[in-house]
Amino acid sequence: MSRNAESTAFRSALEVIRAVEPRVADAIGAELTDQRESLKLIASENYASPATLLAMGNWFSDKYAEGTVGRRFYAGCQNVDTVEALAAEHARELFGAAHAYVQPHSGIDANLVAFWAVLADRVESPALKKAQVRQVNDLTEADWFALRRELGNQRMLGMSLDAGGHLTHGFRPNISGKMFDQRSYGTDPATGLIDYDRVAEAAREFKPLILVGGYSAYPRKVNFRILREIADSVGATFMVDMAHFAGLVAGKVFTGDFDPVPHAHIVTTTTHKSLRGPRGGMVLCQPELADQVDRGCPMVLGGPLPHVMAAKAVALAEARRPDFADYAQRIVDNAQALAEGLLSRGATLVTGGTDNHLVLIDVSGYGLTGRQAEQALLDSGIVTNRNSVPQDPNGAWYTSGIRIGTPALTTRGLGTAEMDQTAELIHTVLTQTTAGANADGTPSKAKYNLDAGLADKIARQATDLLATYPLYPGIDLS
């Protein structure tokens, strides 16, 4: 699409919106300005293409389409069928998966679909078979009661939260923790790396129904072949949540033992992080789980979002182009340059570096909590998020870590030289910030001191760094 066409499309859309509720049009415009001006290092965010964004803003949003392609509970779904089938085909081809389900509205929803597909396959189906009935409505009250108890009595083993796992991998505040009896595997305190022998030991002791691989804040590759062997050795279903690193799998940076798709029974992902698509989720699986996965809606999902499935099809088509592999490699090159820039200036990094898209800084070395560091960086125009580090003494709210990632800045075109400059800006802010005190003089985990003039200066330097790499260069709203 020409730059003119992009500008015309977005300007016209805003004009139409402005005629109804100008404050919404203004907020949309302001969001573009904010995104253009901030040095976005949030590891889970990216910038979707104009084509992906435009595919979401249309009348597909008006259509109900419960069910799956060709098997809908609603009439008139032929065009939804087209985009859903396209998105699934692109996903299968891109990841080499046997089956793809593109309806989940988010990563959490994709995980719920996966959990219930495994529970249906491994717990519900055998119970129906034993009772010699076809479906749950045919069970006696007593058999139904027993099955519900059994469904609620299953075990999951996943990576601990402070080692980088995700809340949806069986933790109590999330519904997954209320559904499953959960145990965690952590990382080696000395190296920060996954200790596969310890995972195997935990699996032997706990005998989970599901072994979960995948993370939100682990800066290293994971060997999925070994995790599958562990799952097999205890009869567990092996599930991988690749929400964070799907773009690196799509771009063939993670191959062989580090590509989850050939090893896992079921793989979930978001589509909006390193994969650079619309906000949403997806499930890939082996053929034996396909029927159960396809029951995601209305089992745990509300009606599918056809406009988002259309955008998924566009983004997945983009990810199948050769330049996406180049993009994925640059994400990792940039993360490594950022890590080296920070290390050479004296920062402490969890695991001492990275081989994916993210870097986890232990900011206790700067005398700060994650909360203080996050706010000081934000004051200086650098957007990051605080994150626990392994065995974090400050808990999940204040934390001792800052997680930074490169997918978004890499999309803008920044390279390794700019990553070194970014490391300099981050290091300057963190060394110049000091922990604050509460009114009674006790140390605060939230308050901090940073000279406002210095914060402004860094923010200007961050803006200068971005000036050469305009975001959405084809879109001019003025």
Is residue 273 annotated as a catalytic residue, yes or no?
yes
Q: Report the largest interatomic distance among the alpha carbons of the chain, rounded to a whole angstrom.
A: 75
Query: What's at 369, amino acid-wise?
Result: T
What stretch of H or E contains 155?
Answer: strand 154-159
**Minimum Å distance from CB 171 to ligand PLP?**
12
**Minimum Å distance from CB 130 to ligand PLP?**
34
DSSP 266-286: EEEEESSSTT--SS-EEEEE-
Is residue 64 annotated as a catalytic residue, yes or no?
yes
**Minimum Å distance from CB 357 to ligand PLP?**
12
DSSP 182-224: EEEE-B-TTT-SB-HHHHHHHHHHH--SEEEEE-SS--S---H
Which of positions 237-256 make contact with ligand PLP (CB under 6 A)? 241, 243-244
Q: Cα separation of 215 and 169, whole Å?
A: 9
Strands 434-437 and 281-285: unpaired
Which residue in this structure is represented by tokens 């599901």? Answer: 210
Strands 401-405 and 358-362: antiparallel
**Minimum Å distance from CB 242 to ligand PLP?**
8
Query: Does residue 431 interact with ligand PLP by CB under 6 A?
Result: no
Asked if 107 contacts 244 with a C-beta cutoff of 8 angstroms, the reply is no
Asked if 277 contacts 245 with a C-beta cutoff of 8 angstroms, the reply is no
Q: Which residue, 211 or 462, has its beta carbon nearer to ligand PLP?
A: 211
Q: Cα separation of 83 and 65, whole Å?
A: 12
Q: Which residue, 281 or 401, has its beta carbon nearer to ligand PLP?
A: 281
Query: Does residue 176 interact with ligand PLP by CB under 6 A?
Result: no
Which of positions 274-293 make contact with ligand PLP (CB under 6 A)? 281
Q: Which residue, 174 or 444, has its beta carbon nearer to ligand PLP?
A: 174
The size of the interface with ligand PLP (CB under 6 A), counted in residues, is 13
* Helix locations, 191-305, DSSP H: 196-206, 224-233, 246-250, 290-293, 296-299
Task: Give the residue among 214, 228, 120, 202 at the shortest CA–CA distance from 167.
Answer: 214
Which of positions 96-115 make contact with ligand PLP (CB under 6 A)? 106-108
Whether 272 has a binding-site annotation, put simply, is no
Environment class of 210 (CB within 10 Å of its CB; exposed 0-12, middle 13-18, buried 19+): buried
Out of 166, 312, 357, 386, the only residue in the binding site for ligand PLP (CB under 6 A) is: 166
Which residue in this structure is represented by tokens 């209320």? Answer: 178
Whether 401 has a binding-site annotation, put simply, is no
Which of positions 385-404 make contact with ligand PLP (CB under 6 A)? none
What's the chain's Rg over C-alpha atoms? 23
Is residue 93 annotated as a catalytic residue, yes or no?
no
Q: Which residue, 364 or 385, has its beta carbon nearer to ligand PLP?
A: 385
**Active-site pick, 121, 241, 294, 418:** 241
**Active-site pick, 64, 196, 333, 348:** 64
Is residue 66 annotated as a catalytic residue, yes or no?
yes
Q: Which residue, 222 or 376, has its beta carbon nearer to ligand PLP?
A: 222
**Minimum Å distance from CB 336 to ligand PLP?**
21
Q: Cα separation of 375 and 434, whole Å?
A: 12
Out of 44, 187, 385, 400, the only residue in the binding site for ligand PLP (CB under 6 A) is: 44
Closest-CB residue for ligand PLP?
A: 107
* Token representation of residue 477: 């709203």
Which residue in this structure is represented by tokens 């996966």? Answer: 114
Environment class of 96 (CB within 10 Å of its CB; exposed 0-12, middle 13-18, buried 19+): exposed
Query: Does residue 270 interact with ligand PLP by CB under 6 A?
Result: yes
Q: Which residue, 386 or 445, has its beta carbon nearer to ligand PLP?
A: 386
Out of 68, 103, 160, 168, the only residue in the binding site for ligand PLP (CB under 6 A) is: 168
Is residue 279 annotated as a catalytic residue, yes or no?
yes
Asked if 318 contacts 276 with a C-beta cutoff of 8 angstroms, the reply is yes
Is residue 72 annotated as a catalytic residue, yes or no?
no
**Minimum Å distance from CB 226 to ligand PLP?**
19
Whether 165 has a binding-site annotation, put simply, is yes
Question: Mask 179-218, x = binds ligand PLP (CB under 6 A)?
Answer: -----------------------------------x-x--
Whether 281 has a binding-site annotation, put simply, is no
**Active-site pick, 220, 228, 273, 312:** 273
**Minimum Å distance from CB 123 to ligand PLP?**
23
**Minimum Å distance from CB 22 to ligand PLP?**
30
3-class secondary-structure state, position 478: coil
Going edge to edge, which strands form the sheet with 154-159?
99-101, 281-285, 266-270, 237-241, 210-214, 154-159, 180-185
Q: Which residues are annotated as a binding site for (6S)-5,6,7,8-tetrahydrofolate?
A: 161, 165-167
Catalytic residues: 64, 66, 241, 270, 273, 279
- Binding site members: 161, 165-167
Query: Footprint of ligand PLP on this chain (CB under 6 A)?
Result: 44, 106-108, 166, 168, 214, 216, 241, 243-244, 270, 281
